[in-house]
Amino acid sequence: MRHPFIVTLCVTGAFALSGCEQGIDTEAVDREFQGVNVIDGTNLNEVMLTVSDPNEAVSYFQRASSAEPDRIDLLRGLAISLVRAKRSAEGVAAWARVVDNDASNNTDRVEFADALIRNNEWERAETVLNAIPPTHETYKRYRLEAMIADSNKQWDKADSFYETAVGLTTTPASVMNNWGFSKLTRGDYSGAERLFTQAIQNDNSLFTAKNNLVLARGAQGNYVLPVVPMTQIERAELLHSMGLAAVKSGDVVTGRGLMREAIETHPQHFEAASRSLKALESSVVN
């Protein structure tokens, strides 16, 4: 399972980062903060890591780290910002510079492994994680270990790592969803259904888990929507997904009916379901 899976912060103080919906003039910010004390500079770094456009943070940390190349906090900020900006290859290079710094720690190495996975460098990520002492037990470390075990089809190890990761976080919905998807790809549909249900119980806004739950039920021939919180649009999308699952299982009549229901349920024109239904009816006619 190689899943190739922001808060906008307005801050006022001695000066204003005005208009969270507008771009931040990071050059002006740099000028304002030249010569301030380390604590204030650290606060600015934290602010820049939460701006709505991560590329603005990238520009800021690129300039800051060029001016002070030995500051590991600035190197970290650049690496984090590049990953947030989905600039995976650059993120890998930036995290490599962080871990090469004498002040780096095991948390940095876990983040480096995360960046490598995002860049689809699974074997290299596994090597990085294997070099981290087993005493470094964190949620993110075990979540990544589980994903790598999945990619190697080492199911027992994956289950163990997922279970450990769930126990190390107060917000386990996303890792439960990943674990459920792992079960789904193995053909353990009932196990996947249970995990997706638990993920939704922990976070009922997680639509990915709702959609995966529908797929797990559909794979078992159950085409009744689960009783979970959903908006009207979500209901329509889930009916569409269930219709596709029915067709994939060879139950074309049920699939066609579910697609029609999806179109009728959606409050606007449901283009994706309409195309699916049209293609299905055309293939049946032909």
- Mean pLDDT, range 268-286, rounded to an integer: 84
Confidence bin at 176 (pLDDT 50/70/90): very high
218: nearest Cα among 203, 240, 235? 240
pLDDT of the residue at 25: 53
The proportion of the chain whose per-residue pLDDT surpasses 70, expressed as a percent, equals: 84
pLDDT tens digits, one per residue of 56-102: 999 999 999 999 999 999 999 999 999 999 999 999 999 999 999 99
Give yes or no for residue 9 having a pLDDT over 50. Answer: no
pLDDT at 222: 96
Which range among 49-58, 135-144, 200-209 shows the weakest confidence by mean pLDDT? 49-58
Mean pLDDT for the stretch of residues 233-262: 95
User: Is residue 164 scored above 60 in pLDDT?
Assistant: yes
Among 17-21, 264-268, 280-284, which stretch is predicted with the lowest mean pLDDT? 17-21
Can you give the pLDDT at residue 41? 52
How confident is the prediction for the chain on average, in pLDDT?
87
CB 161 within 8 A of CB 149: yes
Report the pLDDT value the prediction gives residue 33, as an integer from 0 to 100: 40
Q: Which pLDDT does position 280 carry in this prediction?
A: 84
pTM recorded for the entire structure = 0.79
Judge contact between 125 and 99, C-beta under 8 A. Answer: no
d(CA 245, CA 111): 36
